[in-house]
Structure 1
Amino acid sequence: MTPPTPLRTPRPATTAAGGPGGPAGRRPRPRPRPRRRRVLAVVSLGASAVLLLAADLAAAAVGEHRMADRIAERHPRLTAAPEVGIDGFPFLYDLARGSHPRVRIRAAATTAQGQPVNASLDLTDVSERPGGTYTAATAAGDFTVPYSALGTRLGPGTTLSAADGRLKIGRSFFGFPVTVLAEVGLDGDTVTVRPVSASVAGRALDPSDPRIAEAFQGQDRTLPELPMGMEPDGVSVDADGITVHARAERVALD
């Protein structure tokens, strides 16, 4: 008896490329996994946030430049373009509601007498009005006159500096070094200078000495009109010069 022939499983047909037969034999592409979708969503959200931040920063820069131009147009005594910083984020939201929480301004100018002064202003709740004008709820200002400008008024060879909050004045008198410490104060709208100690070649001298009193005659200074109607409320002496501090409420940036 002849044994039965074993069955053979037919091989799948191959394509010219050697793969399983025909398109029906190709493996389907794997579906995107949930984790991959989450990553793509996070990347898309991050890109949108970066674009929004860039747009907000660009709008803030335009707003600061516009305000600086307005200030420069109305204050011809400025010696350089003012620096304006507008606080608050997002800027576009504050712009839409018409008010910025804080604006900082730095500017260099000269007085009517030609004396240089560096101004630093800090404004709160700043709003723009029709016509391009600005108002602020409060304004605090520091106006500093550098020692280089003050020394020229006291004669050649005079040096000025700060010493423990007082004004230190140094010069030569018949070849001997003279040092005077003076208290700088504010009396209304007048800056006063009063000697409190003095020495000649390291030897103590009575600050009420007639020669010292004569040197300080006429050294008080009446302040010019401050911007935005600010009123002086203090004076200080530091490394940069003599600074007058002033404040005002409900002001207009004219």
Structure 2
Amino acid sequence: MTQVYIVGAGPGDAELITVKGLKAIQTADVILYDRLVNPALLEEAPPHAQLIYAGKQPNRHAMPQEEINAQLCAHARRGKVVTRLKGGDPFIFGRGGEEAAALASANISFEIVPGITSGAAVPAYAGIPVTHRDYSSSVTFVAGVSKTNDESYWQHIIGSMDTLCIYMGIQKLEDICDRLLRHGRTPETPVAVIEWGTTGEQRTITGTVTDIAVKAADAAQPGMIVVGEVVKLREELQWFTEHQAETVEAAAH
């Protein structure tokens, strides 16, 4: 019997949870959930389930990662079915690998339930296909803040990939644009910044490498940065209307 489910809750819209992820919520004794998990999903938990907030904000964590790992193990050892509910996909910038490693080291059985990652879903809700036969045959998911993102790293990805989907980069947007220019992207390269993607608060700002930092100066996390010619397609393909956003927001409450 699986003791711990590490579940991707998707990017924000509660209806983007997978069937398997929803079942893991509905059968849990304990749920440790992150900040960006839609509250409507927690309403699917059994009445007896213990809900534990383990969210993280930039420079402020409700619970350190080591404590999250310890709690997963502790509740599982007490015979509880534990669901770790994480925004997006747990293995894409979600620290799910660290949590799985902690469970494996403790000989606790676990299952990974993939989720829809923001890098795919958020641009889609903004009307931006991250690949397109005429504009992009490659896409890279990049962490805007990472210990490994040195100059040579940026030079490689900027020069070799058509579309970049940059997570956790809003606070570094000006620096990211400088790097894009230094490593070969033209000043006219289209860029989109999408706040609170797939939710009722979604806002999309478009521009170019040279002006997006100014246009999106007030943008806040969570946000996705999309760089590449595919951003041009938003004008034709944007479909997530104000009415649809209101419907998503109402479902969250």
Question: Structure 1-normalised TM-score?
Answer: 0.26
Question: Structure 2-normalised TM-score?
Answer: 0.26
Structure showing greater Rg: 1
Structure (1 or 2) with the greater strand fraction: 1
Q: Pick 1 or 2: higher relative contact order, CA cutoff 8 A, min separation 6.
A: 2
